[in-house]
A and B are shown apart, each in its own frame.
Chain A
Amino acid sequence: MSRAANRATIAALMTRARNEILRVPGAAIPGVLAPTIFFLGLNGVFGNLIQLRGFNADNYLSFIVPVSMLQGAGFTGAATGVNLARDIEGGWFDRLMASPAPRWVLLAGMALSASARALIPAALVLVVALALGASFPGVLGLLVAALLVMGMAATAAFWGMMLALRYRSQSAAPLMQAGMFLLVLLTPAYAPIALLQGWLHAIATVNPVTKVLDAMRQGFLGGVTWSDTWPGLVAIAALMFVLGAAALRGMNRFSARA
């Protein structure tokens, strides 16, 4: 297939994902609202943690907003996996596999649709946070945050699609969601890394999403620097590459078995 045909396929898959939101908005509402509810809830419950010695932020709203944006991206990406499982169960995906489109184009179409959709819950969380008094991260900080949210959604979509292709059932949905839940929250999500308990400190230190979170958080807590940004970009690129390759492998196996 030509490049133009590949682009058209990706665009068609993205349009389909957009239509799902427009035609059944009720189904998308919980996914859009949940990160904002978590954001407000976490701030209400743990907001006084900033009084702790060693807490390197003076506003918990600013500290927690990137976590909720990443959570929204994680759940949006995982929902792409659930939707793929639904399409597999319904037989629609078999028709997609019978098309001459390369496998990577199909994956890219679905991952990019997740990236675009993830901006909706992220924008809602951001608007609510700014309205309540979170610091504005600046244009550069906002761009970095948006880029990382899109990357996180693509990562989660690859993870969800990999599981959907393996289990071929929507029953795998909790696994898709729990994986992203853990990946995002096993980081210095609630408090700076120095204040985490031993086991979580150890995991957060090696969790690549910690770098992503740090890169997003810098704009909300201060200025954006390249030295705090590039590790986040490398971490998200690595996650996308590894999980994207795994999803592609899953798709090849799926078509071989079919």
Chain B
Amino acid sequence: MRANLRVIRALGVRSVRQTFRRPQLMAPIIVFPTLLLAVQTGGAAAALDLPGFPPVDSFLQFMLAGAMMQSVLLAGNSGGIALAVDIEMGFTDRLFAAPISRYAIVLGRLMGTAALGAFAGLWFLLIGVIFGAPIEDGVPGALLALVLVVLTSMAMGGIGASIALRTGSASVVQGLFPFVFVILFLSSAFFPQELMVEPAKTIATVNPLSFIAEGVRRPIIGGESAGDVAAALAAIAGIGLIALWLARGALRHRLRTGG
């Protein structure tokens, strides 16, 4: 058990270092969501005047949860790409040959993705505070949002890891990059669901990412949060279970066939 924990820690630290050293992996997690946050906040801030827009301090305050969602989705994708690169280069095969749990190998990668999710969450909370978007529920609210972001990054990282394990191809995982935005735009991450345009509006009502975004947003913009947080946790658990099931199958397939 202790040996497995050491493996998970070592692989998690490696995963984080790898991301910080490679701009290609870091840019989608921090740079692009920050740029999009700035552009959307400046370009669509007038939306606050639309009838039905929820009461918020500023459009930036509303958008913080969306930026965090974008960041964790892309962190999951980047984690998958990095794992696929490890598979292509034979690093994962060497790990499989070592006397350690196979699940520890995947969990190590997920811990790295979780750490990046925490970093991204803190980054955007800090941006909010610096640029005048207060966290209405204070420090407990910020912590709650962070926990949800970290759990989401692990669930999304699980999806990325299982695709990497199944295909073993970095370009295939990278090819999923646009679909991250499909999921994101078809949720209420960037705009109130009631004010979206059909068919995005209807799809957003059943998109699990909408529930997570609302759960993360609620402590930031204030208001009764228990229901939104519970729904977010349920959505994260659902995605996590699917990721677990996919990763288990992919890992077994890789160990059985070697590719």
A33 interface hit (Cβ, 8 Å):
yes
Say yes or no: A174-B27 contact (C-beta < 8 A), given A34-B181, A45-B185, A200-B39: yes
A191 to B31, CA, bound (A): 23
A117 to B189, CA, bound (A): 32
Say yes or no: A178-B43 contact (C-beta < 8 A), given A45-B185, A172-B23: no
Instruction: Report which of A43, A48, A172, A190 forms a contact with B195, defined as CB distance below 8 A.
Output: A48
Check B200 against A45 for contact (C-beta < 8 Å): yes
Check B185 against A178 for contact (C-beta < 8 Å): no
Check B185 against A171 for contact (C-beta < 8 Å): no
A175 interface hit (Cβ, 8 Å):
yes
A51 to B196, CA, bound (A): 12
Say yes or no: A174-B185 contact (C-beta < 8 A), given A33-B178, A48-B195, A185-B39: no
B130 interface hit (Cβ, 8 Å):
no
Check A43 against B197 for contact (C-beta < 8 Å): yes
A24 to B26, CA, bound (A): 26
Instruction: Report which of A30, A44, A195, A196 forms a contact with B186, defined as CB distance below 8 A.
Output: A44
Check B177 against A30 for contact (C-beta < 8 Å): yes
Question: Inside 8 A of A51's CB, which chain B residues have their CB?
Answer: 50
Question: Inside 8 A of A181's CB, which chain B residues have their CB?
Answer: 32, 35
Question: Inside 8 A of A186's CB, which chain B residues have their CB?
Answer: 39
A52 to B53, CA, bound (A): 12
Check B35 against A41 for contact (C-beta < 8 Å): no
Which residues of chain B (1-50) have a CB below 8 Å from chain A?
22-24, 26-28, 31-32, 35-36, 39-47, 49-50
Question: Inside 8 A of A199's CB, which chain B residues have their CB?
Answer: 42
Which residues of chain A (159-214) have a CB below 8 Å from chain B?
170-175, 177-178, 181-182, 185-186, 188-191, 195-197, 199-201
Say yes or no: A41-B185 contact (C-beta < 8 A), given A46-B47, A48-B195, A190-B43: yes
User: What is the CB-to-nearest-CB distance from A192 to chain B, in angstroms, rounded to a whole number?
Assistant: 9
Check B22 against A171 for contact (C-beta < 8 Å): yes
Check B43 against A38 for contact (C-beta < 8 Å): no
Check B171 against A196 for contact (C-beta < 8 Å): no
B68-103 Cβ-contact flags toward A at 8 Å (1 or 0):
000000000000000000000000000000000000
A126 to B121, CA, bound (A): 36
Check A191 against B43 for contact (C-beta < 8 Å): yes
A49 interface hit (Cβ, 8 Å):
yes
B184 interface hit (Cβ, 8 Å):
yes
Question: Inside 8 A of B190's CB, which chain A residues have their CB?
Answer: 45-46
Check B35 against A178 for contact (C-beta < 8 Å): yes
Chain A facing B: main interface SS: helix
Which residues of chain A (5-60) have a CB below 8 Å from chain B?
26-27, 29-30, 33-34, 37-38, 40-49, 51-53, 60
Number of A interface residues, CB 8 Å? 44
Say yes or no: A197-B175 contact (C-beta < 8 A), given A41-B185, A172-B23: no
Say yes or no: A47-B197 contact (C-beta < 8 A), given A30-B174, A37-B185, A173-B24: yes
B133-156 Cβ-contact flags toward A at 8 Å (1 or 0):
000000000000000000000000
A177 to B195, CA, bound (A): 31
Closest residue of chain B to A174 (Cβ to Cβ) is: B27
Question: Inside 8 A of B179's CB, which chain A residues have their CB?
Answer: 37
Question: Inside 8 A of A45's CB, which chain B residues have their CB?
Answer: 185, 190-191, 196-197, 200
User: What is the CB-to-nearest-CB distance from B54 to chain A, in angstroms, rounded to a whole number?
Assistant: 14
User: What is the CB-to-nearest-CB distance from B250 to chain A, in angstroms, rounded to a whole number?
Assistant: 20
Question: Inside 8 A of B47's CB, which chain A residues have their CB?
Answer: 46, 48-49, 52
User: What is the CB-to-nearest-CB distance from B216 to chain A, in angstroms, rounded to a whole number?
Assistant: 17
Question: Inside 8 A of B23's CB, which chain A residues have their CB?
Answer: 171-175
Closest residue of chain B to A48 (Cβ to Cβ) is: B195
A51 to B68, CA, bound (A): 28
Check B44 against A190 for contact (C-beta < 8 Å): yes
User: What is the CB-to-nearest-CB distance from B100 to chain A, in angstroms, rounded to a whole number?
Assistant: 31
Check B44 against A46 for contact (C-beta < 8 Å): yes
Closest residue of chain A to B175 (Cβ to Cβ) is: A30
User: What is the CB-to-nearest-CB distance from B78 to chain A, in angstroms, rounded to a whole number?
Assistant: 11
Check A26 against B45 for contact (C-beta < 8 Å): no
Say yes or no: A182-B35 contact (C-beta < 8 A), given A26-B175, A175-B23: yes
Listed by A's residue number, 10 A-B pairs whose Cβ atoms lie within 8 Å are A30-B178, A34-B177, A34-B178, A37-B182, A43-B200, A44-B185, A44-B200, A45-B196, A49-B46, A52-B47
Residues of chain A whose beta carbon lies under 8 Å from any beta carbon of chain B: 26-27, 29-30, 33-34, 37-38, 40-49, 51-53, 60, 170-175, 177-178, 181-182, 185-186, 188-191, 195-197, 199-201
Complex A-B, nearest 6 residue pairs according to Cβ-Cβ distance, in ascending order: A41-B185, A44-B200, A200-B42, A174-B27, A47-B197, A190-B43
Q: A48-B197, A49-B50, A177-B32 are in contact. List 4 more A-B contacts (CB 8 A).
A: A43-B200, A44-B201, A46-B190, A178-B27
